Structure 1
């Protein structure tokens, strides 16, 4: 079956949000719950978030994998700039991630594939596209955050040149589906 890779469109925002729910282990639901109106469905909040333009968390920073007209996966990434004056975090669940950044890299915030499309080489193709983008932007490489509990993802990234450069402890919360450590991983160009 043919898989096409294409830039995301605004109409993909709901699919993007659904795929974020898969890879974020509840972190996206936690973030969306902080901005949701009472009773608002979290997937709806995510869809609105990714329908925006001109911000990091936008469909404009997504590459979509599609088969038979259906979205089967996506890569969301954006440039991680140097921040000389970072604001101290106030959210206790997100605070541990505040210094989990590698400036001047292309930060992969999500690489997700629906069940049945994994282990078919599509993740590698997404990484290849991310590296091309990082090179075009003259960045130092790729970075991402992974969870220690997700051993399969960590092995995948390590096989493709990523290494752990920093760790933090995950703050427990009912919406977060993992505990233990989170890893900041980097692959140099």
Structure 2
């Protein structure tokens, strides 16, 4: 079955949020829980977040892979710039990530594929498209954060030229499904 890559549409926001839940190991649910109203479903919060326009966390920064009209994966990325006026997070779960960035790169915040679509070369195709976007924007490469526990993903990124350039300790929280270290990875 052929796979088609296309820019995401606002109507993809719920599926983007669902795939974000796959790759974030609970971090997206944690963030969305901070934004949720009483009794609000976290997936609904994520869908609203990705339906926005003109912000980093928007469907506009997502690339969709679909087969037979069904979304099978997505990549969310945006330009990482150094902001000297940014206020560092004081949230204990998020604060360790305050300086986990490589300025002037295309930051891949999520690359997710549904079960059954992994290990078929689609991740490489997503990376190729990310590199094309970074080149078109005259950025200094690609960056992302991966978790030490996610050895399969780390090996994939290392095979494709990414190097660990910084680490931080993950703050333990019941919603976060990983412990240990997070790695900032960069490919020039």
- Residue aligning to 1:120: 120
In 1, Cα distance between equivalents of 2:5 and 2:177 = 30
SS in structure 1 opposite 2:145? strand
1:53 pairs with 2:56 = no
**Alpha-carbon shift at residue 132 of structure 1 (Å):** 0.2
In 1, Cα distance between equivalents of 2:131 and 2:70 = 25
- Residue aligning to 2:135: 135
- Residue aligning to 1:21: 21
Deviation readout 1:139-159 (Å, 9 max, x if unpaired)? 000000000000000000000
- Residue aligning to 1:155: 155
- Residue aligning to 2:84: 84
Deviation readout 1:114-138 (Å, 9 max, x if unpaired)? 0000000000000000000000000
How does the TM-score come out when normalised to structure 1? 0.99
In 1, Cα distance between equivalents of 2:162 and 2:153 = 11
In 2, Cα distance between equivalents of 1:83 and 1:143 = 16
Alpha-carbon RMSD: 0.5
Deviation readout 1:1-58 (Å, 9 max, x if unpaired)? 1000000000000000000000000000000000000110000000000000000000
- Residue aligning to 2:181: 181
SS in structure 1 opposite 2:12? helix
User: Where does the alignment leave 5 or more consecutive residues of structure 2 unmatched?
Assistant: none
In 1, Cα distance between equivalents of 2:10 and 2:178 = 30
User: Where does the alignment leave 5 or more consecutive residues of structure 1 unmatched?
Assistant: none
- Residue aligning to 2:35: 35
1:95 pairs with 2:67 = no
Runs (4+) of structure 1 exceeding 3 A deviation are none
In 2, Cα distance between equivalents of 1:99 and 1:86 = 11
In 2, Cα distance between equivalents of 1:91 and 1:105 = 25
Deviation readout 1:139-188 (Å, 9 max, x if unpaired)? 00000000000000000000000000000000011100000000000000
In 2, Cα distance between equivalents of 1:89 and 1:3 = 39
Aligned residues: 188
- Residue aligning to 1:73: 73
In 2, Cα distance between equivalents of 1:82 and 1:10 = 28
